[in-house]
Amino acid sequence: MGSKHKVVWTNVAENDLKEIIDFISIDSSQNALKILKSIQQKASNLYTLPERGHIVPELQGQGILQYRELIIPPWRLMYRFDERKVYVLSVIDSRRNVEDILLARLVGK
């Protein structure tokens, strides 16, 4: 059996998740809780097999191969991992342009 990784959420990813849940809870707190548990569980499952996600296509086209994603419709959970940890980096709505979101975060807009 493979090694176990610790799953670590970055502040950005935690904020992304909080915004998603806050928005959904406006209409249904029960649905928001269900979605929260689903996203957290899928992220937690990365501790045994972080390779399960696929390389982020927008980044792969630029030769950046260390970032992976899990699709949890309609969200994309982006992460990277090393020999000991999985770092959850962001949770982005898949209906939005990922390149625009990442660029805005990098330039602070």
Asked if residue 98 is part of any domain, the answer here is yes
The edge-to-edge listing of strands for the beta sheet with 68-72 is 6-9, 85-93, 75-81, 68-72, 54-55
The fraction of the chain above a pLDDT of 70, given in percent, is 96
- Average pLDDT over the chain reads 91
Asked if residue 46 is part of any domain, the answer here is yes
Question: Does the bond joining 74 to the residue before it have cis omega, within 30 degrees of 0?
Answer: yes
Give the count of domains, the chain.
1
Asked if residue 19 is part of any domain, the answer here is yes
Asked if residue 1 is part of any domain, the answer here is no
Asked if residue 24 is part of any domain, the answer here is yes
Residue-number span of the structural domain to which 72 is assigned: 6-107
What's the alpha-carbon Rg for the chain, to the nearest Å? 14
| Residue 60 and residue 77 in contact, taking contact as beta carbons nearer than 8 Å | no
Tens of pLDDT along 69-93?
999 999 999 999 999 999 999 999 8
